[in-house]
Structure 1
Amino acid sequence: MNLMYVAVGAGIGAVGRYELTILGKRLAPIIPFGTLLINVLGALLAGVLTGMLIDNRLSLFLLTGICGGFTTFSTFTADTFVLVKNQRFGIATIYWVATVGLGIAAVVFGLWLGMLIR
């Protein structure tokens, strides 16, 4: 049963990631804005859910499933590599710093928000 919670959540998260990736490419075709947005929103949601101390089944569905299927470290690293390969060093640096910095800030804010909601 646990596998089902994770699988269904991951499918939902992956569809959300796909949609935001398409939107990001339309809004900012030169930079990987969609991936940045996805990872920061995923970090925020992970922080909120962790701060709320949700039960195990709900955690499997929301945190492991949806957040895991939604966020994408592999695309973040690949996007950074492509920017560097194309000698877009400034954009690569800004993208890397923004993703890591905003991701950490989003988790911290999410934890605080989740504890308030709890």
Structure 2
Amino acid sequence: MTWIWVALGAGIGAVCRYELTVLGKIISPKLPFSTFFINIAGSLLAGFLTGCQVQGSWSLFLLTGLCGGFTTFSTFSVDTFVLIRNRQYLAAGLYWCGTVVLGMVAVGAGLWLGTLTV
């Protein structure tokens, strides 16, 4: 039954992301302002919900579902902040740097692999 809460939240989050992306391309077709806004807004919401200690079905719906469907960057941000709050500075630094660097490497690799199929 818990997966229903996650699925509902993720569906709403994904639709919100899509609509904001479409709007962002109309407003600024050359710059990814919509992605920037979505990632920052999702991080703000995830941090707020984490700070409010939302639990149970609400946590599944809002944090895992809505924020997860809206952006995975919010989860990355919360995870990093929790490590820092827990004074796990080395782990936080490695996690942050590793995610950013490997994310860029993965994008580059994916773009390269994608061009091989064309």
Counterpart for residue 30 of structure 2: 30
How far apart in 2 are the matches of 1:10 and 1:55? 17
- Within-5 A mapping of 1:37-116: 37-73=37-73
The CA deviation at 1:72 is: 4.7
The Cα RMSD (Å) is 2.0
- Within-5 A mapping of 1:2-41: 2-41=2-41
Equivalent residue of 2:30, what SS?
Answer: coil
Highest Rg: 1 or 2? 2
Structure 2: gaps of 5 or more residues: 74-102, 112-118
How far apart in 2 are the matches of 1:9 and 1:44? 17
The CA deviation at 1:55 is: 1.7
The CA deviation at 1:57 is: 1.2
The one of the two structures with greater contact order (alpha-carbon pairs below 8 A, sep at least 6) is 1
How far apart in 1 are the matches of 2:5 and 2:43? 20
Identity across matched positions, percent: 59
TM-score, scaled relative to structure 1: 0.61
- Runs of 4 or more, structure 1, over 4 Å off, are none
Structure 1: gaps of 5 or more residues: 86-118
TM-score, scaled relative to structure 2: 0.61
- Count how many residue pairs are aligned between Structure 1 and Structure 2: 78
